[in-house]
Every structure is written in structure tokens, then in C-alpha cells.
Structure 1
């Protein structure tokens, strides 16, 4: 099944909000020098990340998994060589 993503583009003024589902509110707090400050009200179990932070952490986690896989392969190779030597 193919998942289709869409982007809804809205204009909001300071003090106006958008609702996501029944329990997430995104409110424009301040606009100054081309920078928009927003507030997000959501349940405490909803994780909220800045995209650049999320992307950096995800890349580091992926690299760490690659390192762990490499270490696992080296340990398996070492064990195989040890077993071959013992024969």
C-alpha cells in the first residue's frame, strides 16, 4: 500500500493557531525580522524535534549502527580464524 503525503500551506497571523488532530496546537507567537516564533501545545508523549537536530541525530545513529555491524563482523571473523587455527 502506497502512503501519500500532502502539504497543507496556511497563512497565519500572530496569535492565530492551527490544530493537528484533536490534541496538537501550533500557534504563531511572534514574527520579527523574517523569523517566526511558534509555540506547540501537545501531549507529553508526543516527541517534538527541530528538523535539523532530528536529521543530525538520525545520521549519527545510522553511523553508529554501521560501526556496530562492522565490530560484530570483525568479532565473527576473529572467532572463525580462532576456530580454524584450533583444527
Structure 2
């Protein structure tokens, strides 16, 4: 992992066409601006983690579903 120090107004470039600029720093909060082509996906990591968790939750064990179906039919 590359670790850099930047001040407000400074930028860094990733590849040929992605620029990350430090817009402001307020205590523990750092506001950044990202300039990237439309074909480059930019997401907050926590949103990607939630997306992955939701995908895992969708995968229902079919045997458990059958057991639940039997329980519902008993009533």
C-alpha cells in the first residue's frame, strides 16, 4: 500500500485519467473529489461491502426452504 500525505488543494493521479483531489480537511474528515472517465466505477467501500452481503443473503439454502415450506403446510 502506498501511503501519501496531501494538503488541501493537492491532487494525485492514478493511471492516465483518474485524479483524486483533496478538497478540504476538517478534523478527522477529509473531503475528496474524484475525476474519472464515466467507464470507471467509483464506489465507497462500505457500499460495496453491503452489496456483497446482500448478494450472500439472497442465496437461500434450498433444503432449509423445503423445511420451512413443510412447517407452513402443517399449520
TM category, shorter: 0.7 to 0.9
What is the distance in 2 between the residues matched to 1:9 and 1:33? Answer: 19
| 2:21 counterpart SS class | strand
The runs of 4+ residues in structure 1 deviating greater than 3 Å are: none
1:46 aligns with 2:40: yes
Larger Rg: 1
Match of 2:10 in 1: 16
TM-score (norm 1): 0.67
Shift of 1:33: 2.1
TM-score (norm 2): 0.77
| 2:16 counterpart SS class | coil
**Any gaps of 5 or more consecutive residues in structure 2?**
67-75
Q: Looking at secondary structure, tell me which structure has more helix per residue.
A: 1
List aligned pairs for 1:1-87, cutoff 5 A.
7-64=1-58, 66-67=59-60, 70=62
Larger relative CO (CA 8 A, sep 6+): 1 or 2? 2
